[in-house]
Amino acid sequence: MAEYRIREYRDEDYEAARELFAAAMSEHAPGLCMHVLHQPWVLLVLACTFTLLLASSRSVLLPVLAVTLLLALGRQLLSYAWGLYIERCLGDDLRDIHASYVEPASSCFWVAEAAEGVVGTVAARPADAGNGTLMLRRMAVRRDFRGRGVATALGRAVLGFAQHRGCRAVVLNTLMVQHEARRLYEHLGFQPDRRYLLPTLYGRLAGCVITTYRYDLPAAD
């Protein structure tokens, strides 16, 4: 017997859905920090700081402490910035899930429900580009329910919804730190469509690469 079931969102799921999304996104903060740490300009700043302090102080302790402090400060700033991004998501379409995904007939929000409550979420609504394309969004699965097919079932719910509505394709975006998500989407049959650098100062400094995936649906008879 299945440990969970996929169903459409109800208003009583509101807090659980938002908390699950925030918790799942928060897990990417350490990966983001490591990604930024490997950016060439960051390594150059750390190396120059260490070398200059070593040359001026003739002591290894001071440059080591300085680099450690810079790393700790950078981690805090990145975690704060990532937290702001999560808050922005919660204040955008997730601020009023009913209005964003339940009221429009062209959109939908699903939850995976187990005995413990809501353990997964996913949403879909028309892509900005239109042309019969649906955007998959807000995929999240509780950590202790991963590896049980929850995310696959949620993804298939979106594909089934899109096909029923006669959409041409389903698209989605992933960040470079979402390794598990990319494997999931490729397993579902999504194909990488394009990769681009987030066109903001922060995106360029952090090397934030977004990969767009696309699933072309068969044409209706």
In this prediction, residue 59 carries a pLDDT of 82
In this prediction, residue 13 carries a pLDDT of 96
| CA 167 to centroid of chain Cα atoms | 24
Q: Is 81 a residue whose pLDDT tops 90?
A: no
Q: Is 180 left (phi over 0), alpha (psi -120 to 50) or beta?
A: alpha
Query: Residue 47 has which token pair?
Result: 């190396």
Average pLDDT over residues 41-55: 91
3-state SS string over 130-178?
Answer: CCCEEEEEEEEECHHHCCCCHHHHHHHHHHHHHHHCCCCEEEEEEECCC
Average pLDDT over residues 64-88: 91
How does pLDDT run across 119-169, given as a tens digit for each residue? 999 999 998 766 889 999 999 999 999 999 999 999 999 999 999 999 999
Average pLDDT over residues 15-34: 93
In this prediction, residue 2 carries a pLDDT of 63
**Which residues lie below 8 Å from residue 4, measured CB to CB, with a gap of 6+?**
112, 113, 114, 119, 120, 145, 148, 150, 153
In the chain, domain spans: 1-169
Q: What is the pTM of this model?
A: 0.86
In this prediction, residue 73 carries a pLDDT of 93
C-alpha 138/C-alpha 43 separation (Å) is 33
Q: Is 29 a residue whose pLDDT tops 80?
A: yes
Q: Taking all residues of the chain, what is their mean pLDDT, rounded to a whole number?
A: 91
Identify the CATH homologous superfamily for domain 1-169.
Answer: Gcn5-related N-acetyltransferase (GNAT) (3.40.630.30)
How does pLDDT run across 166-218, given as a tens digit for each residue? 999 999 999 988 999 999 999 999 999 999 988 887 788 888 899 999 999 98
Per-residue confidence band for 1, with pLDDT thresholds at 50, 70 and 90:
very low
Q: Is 172 left (phi over 0), alpha (psi -120 to 50) or beta?
A: beta
